[in-house]
Amino acid sequence: MHPIVTLVAQRLALGLLLLFAASILIFAGTTMLPGDVAQQILGQGATPENLANLRAELGLNDPPVTRYFNWLGGVLQGDLGTALTNGRDIAESIGGRLKNTMFLAFWAAVISVPLAIFLGLLAVRYKDRWPDKLISAVTLTTISIPEFMIGYILVYWLAIKLRWFPSVAIMNDSMSLGAKLNAIAIPVMVLTLVVLAHMMRMTRAAILNVMQSAYIETAELKGLRMLKIIRKHAFPNAVAPIVNVVMINMAYLVVGVVVVEVVFAYPGMGQYLVDHVSKRDVPVVQACGLIFAAVYIGLNLIADIVSIVTNPRLRHPK
């Protein structure tokens, strides 16, 4: 079997194993949460008989192992369960929320990825000169500030002072694409500033590492311009580490939007999760946690597979 096929199969098997382990941790973590789900649903005035009946109906009296495999079996069949607080199907409720989160993450990625690669190339081109130092200083400053603080600063200037964009990211399906982009403008800016520095610095480091190779010296001796050397020789050979860091940050854009969605009241997965954590709606928390874990593991798997496929030693084995 070809080495690439073997390694990709191993990575996929490892990804499934990690997702299984994540499901165990998610279920165990929510099971150990303090408080009584039945008491939370029925309130403090519930009678012991009503509490006992609800616990039996929800399967809370079953052993944890039994409840876990019942939950996992439902997930494998596409059944994420029913929300305890409103009785709605979780899969239906999450569908629209996940679409909104992906919409926000997509536009943040559309801006941040090309910008980070461009700034990384620019920093390499002017290494140790003022453009490199300025780019590093600005991006490190933005990554050092908490995202909620960046959000409040942008809201103050762009929404309150200048009134360019709304301060709350309210969005629905009836809105046009332009209206949706206007609504998410500030959250997209916050996410872009948060992930930009990491991607830019890793792009810079990967290209500088390649620039020390012998074939780069050969290209310099041939009299090629530095910009052409970076574009045609260094950058293509630095794709693997750059893809890795991009995918990790893409995973953050999907999984780490909780704070941004709460700050801007954005109707996404993060807001949905926080709302139901406060209500101790365990099935919703479990479903959201598993989806976030699947997205994170999946994007990291893509990064691993791209790294394997772009490795010339594996593409052309002896």
Tally of domains within the chain: 1
Q: Tokens at residue 150, please?
A: 């960046």
Residue 42, pLDDT score: 65
Residue 10, pLDDT score: 85
CA 169 to chain centroid: 19
Residue 121 lies in a domain: yes
Q: Which CATH number characterizes residue 166's domain? A: 1.10.3720.10
Question: pLDDT in tens for each of the 318 residues of the chain?
Answer: 667 778 888 888 998 999 999 999 998 888 777 666 666 666 666 677 776 776 776 666 678 888 888 888 888 888 888 887 777 888 888 888 888 888 888 898 889 888 888 888 888 878 888 888 888 888 888 878 888 888 888 888 988 888 888 888 888 778 888 888 988 899 999 988 888 888 888 888 877 777 777 777 777 777 777 777 776 767 676 777 777 778 788 887 877 778 888 888 888 888 888 888 777 788 888 888 898 889 888 888 888 887 777 766 555 555
Q: What's the CA gap between 222 and 229, in Å, rounded?
A: 10
Question: Beta partners for 89?
Answer: 82
How far is it between the farthest Cα atoms of the chain?
87
Look up the pTM and report it: 0.81
User: Residue 262 to residues 5, 18, 235: CA-CA distances in angstroms?
Assistant: 42, 28, 38
CB contact at 8 A, 105 and 250: yes
Residue 312, pLDDT score: 61
Residue 311, pLDDT score: 63
List of residues 6+ apart from 26 with CB closer than 8 A: 286, 289, 290, 293
Residue 267 lies in a domain: yes
Residue 177 lies in a domain: yes
Residue 202 lies in a domain: yes
Could you tell me the residue range of the domain that residue 133 belongs to?
94-279
Residue 235 lies in a domain: yes
Q: Tokens at residue 25, please?
A: 């941790």
Helix axes 90-125, 282-309, angle to 10 degrees: 40
Residue 233, pLDDT score: 67
Residue 291 lies in a domain: no
Residue 182 lies in a domain: yes
Q: What's the CA gap between 22 and 1, in Å, rounded?
A: 31
CB contact at 8 A, 268 and 187: no
Residue 7 lies in a domain: no
Q: What's the CA gap between 211 and 228, in Å, rounded?
A: 12
List of residues 6+ apart from 244 with CB closer than 8 A: 303, 304, 306, 307
